Amino acid sequence: MKFTNIQYNRHHERGCIMRKTYGYVRVSSQDQNEERQYLELIEFGIEEKYIYMDKLSGKDFNRPSYHQLVYKKIKPGDLLVIKSIDRLGRNYNEILNEWKYITKEKNVDIKILDMPLLDTDQSKDLIGTLIGDIVLQLLSFVAENERINIRQRQAEGIRAAKIRGVHFGRPKIDFPEDFGEIIYLWEKSELQSKEAIALSGFKYSTFYKKVKEYKEIMHKA
């Protein structure tokens, strides 16, 4: 039976509870057309008022609608439907963290339309749990490899910069030890913004502020 409304009865060990199904759409720029993602969620049976959407610029990954949905609106037992898994984050590490938070901490099911196996709502038995754990393990493996590759590129870039005579100082303030190196590689386009932010350990909204602070301190030094 396919539900065409966002609310339906779901049997639970404590009885019968009301459940809601939400959809999330993200496009990477104001010019990108969100219609395909949106229509697929509508065809799945989600009402328009329960579809949340973010339009982001290339450097801005603040997701007000996503945070409103995932951190405030959605409740345990609900279902989150998205077209593809990359809508959850910019890289595998971020996707993994969001997946864990939504499924483990919020106790919300996720259904990925482009990848039918990524459907924690499909089965609640041993097989369904096993599939979910395999997904987490796979995402963890890819995320770790991504971190290793970024670190390797950083090390190679720093070695090359030092050969060219570039000196990296460190201001006496709470910055990552290699923050100057990260900024240098980022500004030389040897690290993408998402990679530099991941290496710094800062949140997106904090990273650019810290870069400015760092430069001001180094300029006065």
- Residue 131 falls within a domain, yes or no? no
Residue 130 inside a domain? The answer is: no
Domain count of the fold of the chain: 2
Residue positions annotated with a catalytic role: 28
Residue 93 is part of which domain span?
A: 7-122
Kindly give the confidence (pLDDT) of every residue in the chain, 221 residues in length, as a single tens digit, with 9 standing for 90 and above: 444 444 443 444 334 457 899 999 988 655 456 778 889 999 999 999 999 998 875 455 578 899 999 999 999 999 999 998 878 877 777 888 888 899 889 999 999 898 877 888 776 666 667 776 777 677 767 766 766 777 777 677 666 666 665 555 544 446 776 788 788 788 877 788 888 888 877 877 788 888 888 777 766 55
Q: What pLDDT shows up at residue 73? A: 94
Does the residue 128 lie in any domain?
A: no
Q: 56 with 99, same domain?
A: yes
Q: What is the pTM of this model?
A: 0.56
Boundary-marking domain end, from 88, 122, 156: 122
Are 82 and 148 part of one and the same domain? no
What does the H/E/C string look like for the chain? CCCCCCEEEEEECCEEEEEEEEEEEEECCCCCCCHHHHHHHHHHCCCHHHEEEEECCCCCCCCHHHHHHHHHHCCCCCEEEECCHHHHCCCHHHHHHHHHHHHHHCCCEEEECCCCCCECCCCCCHHHHHHHHHHHHHHHHHHHHHHHHHHHHHHHHHHHHHHCCCCCCCCCCCCCCCHHHHHHHHHCCCCCHHHHHHHHCCCHHHHHHHHHHHHHHHHHC
